[in-house]
């Protein structure tokens, strides 16, 4: 998947998640009073499961629909393969991914362009800039919101700043920006950002996907910014870093994430800057390729983590299945499976306190010496707007 990606936070889980602000939020969100019904039409606009008869009614309605359409959720991304298999086995609902290697920008295009088609995406796992754009709309292109609001049973456990106040989207998991490289070819471990400017990294360093259209690509720019004199409100130093990388001949324009581990397997890409969970899945796959020893490093300095949001299309062909999918992903079962894949689940602090984490989930959560830097949705949007404006002239 090209839109996003994350690594493992383990020793000091409490330090990492507390510093990230993942505490439980007290008090339930306001909900609209509505006659309880389990009719199919009810689920198309349900803000909560209780509005249409509760979880049992939701499960029955979703099973009756029988299908769920997702987009840009490849099996190697943050444990999606096992998450999808578990959901299908649990509920007997078949999941179709219409564009597994797409970007967050593609997701918006699919909702707008496929409206009314049977393969219209039901749900989206999307970068923050695009989530906010989907709610606000884009003048001359589409009128927002193109999401349908829904609040899962865990809604109150998500910090208020990490969810849309009207229920259109909410954070679900985060990724950590890391460097992966082929240690059989590159003998100098890139332990700092400046190491990537060394001659040894000639034509070696690629991004998951273009930072102008993907969360993972933009995360790599933000991570470079905060470690080269910038901040979450000043992304220009990150753009400047990649300009230097390109001038040194070290930037490789191949979009590594768009082709799975292919560019790394054929050695056309020797190093990547991506979310840790993507690097982890590639490491597992690349172990099967001769001459590749893929290693992963959190470079010295300030670690950067970025969340992705879940949302339901306003035109979802399977509205009950879409709502059940979100209930599953935000439940302890789904959150533990994100953790197994190396991502940091949004409700992890509450789960630790409630004792609902699994041993496998704990083992997957990244270990860091300091809490990662995160950006607000507004900061991500402002930063990505600058990248869209400046990237082509700075890097090409």
Interval 194-221: pLDDT, tens: 999 999 999 999 998 899 988 889 999 9
d(CA 263, CA 274): 14
What average pLDDT does this structure show over 288-300? 93
Looking at the fold, whether 203 and 79 belong to one and the same domain comes out as no
pLDDT attached to residue 6: 30
Domain match, 89 and 107 both: yes
Q: Which pLDDT does position 259 carry in this prediction?
A: 56
Q: Closest Cα to residue 81, out of 66, 65, 97?
A: 97
**Residue 291 domain-assigned?**
yes
d(CA 316, CA 219): 29
Query: Which of 98-102, 173-177, 382-386 has the least mean pLDDT?
Result: 98-102
Has residue 34 been placed in a domain?
no
280, 285, 286, 288 alpha-carbon torsion, rounded to 10°: 140
Are 186 and 234 within one domain? yes
* 292 and 323 share one domain: no
334-382 pLDDT tens trace: 999 999 999 989 999 899 999 999 999 999 988 888 889 999 988 998 9
Q: Is 137 left (phi over 0), alpha (psi -120 to 50) or beta?
A: left
- DSSP assignment, residue 238? H
- Domain total of the chain: 2
Range of the domain at 54: 13-24+40-173+306-374
CATH number assigned to the domain comprising residue 225:
3.40.190.10
pLDDT at res. 214: 85
pLDDT of residue 205: 97
Same domain, 190 and 159: no
Per-residue confidence (pLDDT) for residue 103, from 0 to 100 = 85
DSSP 274: E
Whether 228 maps to a domain, the answer reads: yes
**Does residue 384 lie within any of the structural domains?**
yes
More confident of the two residues 190 and 33 = 190
Element (H, E) at 131: helix 128-136
26-40 average pLDDT score: 41
81-84: long-range contacts (C-beta < 8 A, 24 or more apart)?
82/337, 82/340, 82/341, 83/329, 83/334, 83/337, 83/338, 83/341
Is 145 a member of any domain?
yes
Average pLDDT, the chain: 88
**Which residues are 309's β-sheet partners?**
126, 171
């Amino acid at each position: 998947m090209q839109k996003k990606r994350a690594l493992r936070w383990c020793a000091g889980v409490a330090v990492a998640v507390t510093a990230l602000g993942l505490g439980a939020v007290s008090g339930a969100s306001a909900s609209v009073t509505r006659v309880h019904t389990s009719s199919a039409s009810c689920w198309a606009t349900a803000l909560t499961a209780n509005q249409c008869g509760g979880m049992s009614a939701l499960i029955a309605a979703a099973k009756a629909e029988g299908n769920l359409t997702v987009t840009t959720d490849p099996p190697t991304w943050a444990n999606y393969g096992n998450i999808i298999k578990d959901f299908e086995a649990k509920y007997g609902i078949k999941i179709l991914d219409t564009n597994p290697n797409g970007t967050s920008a593609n997701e918006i295009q699919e909702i707008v362009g496929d409206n009314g088609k049977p393969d219209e995406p039901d749900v989206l796992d999307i970068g923050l800039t695009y989530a906010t754009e989907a709610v606000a709309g884009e003048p001359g292109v589409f009128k927002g919101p193109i999401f349908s609001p829904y609040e899962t049973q865990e809604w109150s456990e998500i910090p208020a700043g990490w969810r849309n106040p009207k229920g259109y989207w909410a954070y679900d998991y985060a990724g950590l920006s890391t460097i992966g490289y082929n240690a059989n070819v590159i003998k100098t471990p890139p332990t700092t950002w400046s190491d990537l400017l060394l001659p040894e990294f000639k034509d070696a360093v690629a991004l998951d996907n273009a930072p102008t259209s993907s969360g993972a690509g933009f995360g790599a720019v933000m991570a470079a910014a905060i470690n080269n004199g910038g901040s979450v409100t000043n992304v220009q130093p990150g753009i400047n870093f990649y300009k230097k990388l390109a001038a040194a001949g070290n930037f490789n324009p191949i979009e590594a994430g768009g082709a799975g581990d292919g560019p790394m397997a054929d050695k056309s890409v020797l190093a990547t800057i991506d979310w840790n969970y993507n690097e982890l899945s590639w490491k597992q796959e690349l172990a099967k390729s001769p001459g590749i020893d893929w290693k992963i490093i959190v470079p010295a300095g300030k670690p950067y983590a970025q969340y992705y949001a879940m949302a339901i299309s306003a035109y979802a062909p399977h509205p009950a299945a879409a709502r059940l999918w979100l209930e599953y992903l935000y439940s302890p079962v789904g959150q533990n499976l994100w953790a197994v894949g190396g991502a940091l689940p949004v409700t992890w602090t509450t789960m630790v306190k409630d004792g609902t984490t699994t041993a496998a989930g704990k083992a997957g959560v990244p270990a860091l010496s300091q809490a990662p830097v995160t950006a607000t949705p507004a900061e991500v949007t402002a930063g990505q707007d600058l990248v869209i404006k400046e990237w082509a002239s700075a890097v090409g």
